[in-house]
Amino acid sequence: MAITVTPTVPSLNYKTGDPLKAYVNAVVVGLSSDGQLTVVSDSISKSSATKIAAAFKEVGATGALDEVTRIPAGTLADAEVLVGVGLGSSKNPVSHERLRRAAGSAVRSLGGFKKVAIAITAEGPLEAGALLEGAAFGSYSFTEHRSATLKKAKAPVATISLFTAKTRTSEYRDALHRAQVFSEGINFARNLINASPLHLAPADLAREAKTFLTGTKVKVEILDEKALAAGGYGGILGVGQGSTRPPRLIRMEYRPKGATKHVALVGKGITFDTGGISLKPPANMHHMKDDMSGAAAVISTIRAIADLELNVSVTAYAACAENMPGGGAQRPGDVITTYGGRTIEVLNTDAEGRLVMSDALVRAAEDNPDVVIDIATLTGAEVVALGHRTAGVMGDDHVRDAVKASADRAGEEFWPMPLPEELRPELDSLVADIANVGSREGGMLSAGWFLKDFIAEGLPWAHLDIAGPAFNPGSPWGYTHKGGVGFGIRTMVAFVEDVMDGTAEI
């Protein structure tokens, strides 16, 4: 039943000259409004920009943020259509993330068009990179499970050209390379998340990771169920024992010469989560194929770090299992022994992610990293607290704050959360070292406390709960499609860069 999830990504490039005369199917321009609709493009002449603005005004375009308006190009351009995307008021500075979302909204609306020109002003290489990233993220479609006819329907944009009047320097080339790398990693993660859980058992996820990392400087080791049993990985085995499809632990290692810093990444890889014996309600259970989003993120992140040749050692772990209520499934009340010897009383089998993470966190510490970052769709409480677009980050204060700063630079939304000391006693067990759940109130925070118990003393750590933004169940927006998002990759890459240049003090 296995499928191949190797991503299809658009070709990105820079162009000079007049985009209105380019051999493309569509031209995207920025629109701002401050009493008068204005085209924001330094590659289009003033006279042409005035005519284009008038044409968009005729059909009701306002320039409001993320508003996308498409009109026939007619005599205004050689392309088939012109697309105007709102950038908001000209009084407000246009952030990098606003540029990403604008380009993403426009390109996402252009399925079926092969070649697109982006003619939105990029003041410098960072702005150019943001436009290219957003456009690339917007060009995505998952068709693996569709019939041959529907696979070809409205294929995503294949070639994206950013027209800029600026002189292209090494910084511009780096920005383009970075956008291409992120496009590959995020679309790979999206494909994994969107894949049918029937087609993506833990062994399949491990195989896809190894294939995706082949040809890079990342070494991959896969522990099957026999190796996990021999090593004493009771958390991963306990979660996976109710499934006929056994668990895996994927260990990935990137060691550049001369690196003086070492970051460990740990991702939750539950390929499908029924809740086990503590069965979830049936409504929206089909979304639980996204419960391996943390694993997908660390696989894509270490590939991006290698492709960008960052001078930081990285070890990544993806703890993969399928949580099913089969005859061999673990029961509420069971006590399991995790890697390293600590015991857990399983009060709720639907709090399974922290069980697989406990094994991986202890194992990751044995690699002697300078800092550990874990990422998981860990709690429904995170979604209740922060919604579907914002992730929570908690842990050691200085690491938590450094991750937040990296996320802000990367354009992903994280909110720092506390770890109140009064929540830890709720995890005390009558029969084991720790229980896997506390009270419902503050569930995201007590889950953080649980993970903290498996962090080696003195080892800096932060936990990223991405339960909300990992999967978009509603309408698409910006460069975010419905379904798998690929969230957290840009933040973790930015954090590793900040560790490399000393911005993140660990």
C-beta atoms surrounding 199 within 10 Å: 16
Which residues make Cβ contacts (< 8 Å) with residue 442, sequence separation at least 6?
A: 381, 420, 423
d(C-alpha 266, C-alpha 209), whole Å: 14
- Which of these is catalytic: 280, 389, 404, 452? 280
Please say if 354 is a catalytic residue: yes
- Which residue has 């990759």 as its token pair? 489
d(C-alpha 400, C-alpha 452), whole Å: 13
CA dihedral sign of residues 161, 166, 168, 170? negative
- C-alpha distances out from residue 89 to 38, 98, 222, Å: 10, 12, 52
Which residues make Cβ contacts (< 8 Å) with residue 423, sequence separation at least 6?
A: 438, 442, 445, 446, 449
CA dihedral sign of residues 485, 488, 489, 494? positive
Do residues 388 and 477 lie in contact, with contact meaning Cβ atoms separated by under 8 Å?
A: no
Please say if 190 is a catalytic residue: no
d(C-alpha 292, C-alpha 296), whole Å: 6
- Which of these is catalytic: 190, 248, 261, 354? 354
Residue 41 gets which letter from DSSP?
A: -
- Collapsing DSSP to helix, strand or coil, 269 comes out as strand
Question: Would you please indicate which residues are annotated as catalytic (active-site) residues?
Answer: 280, 354
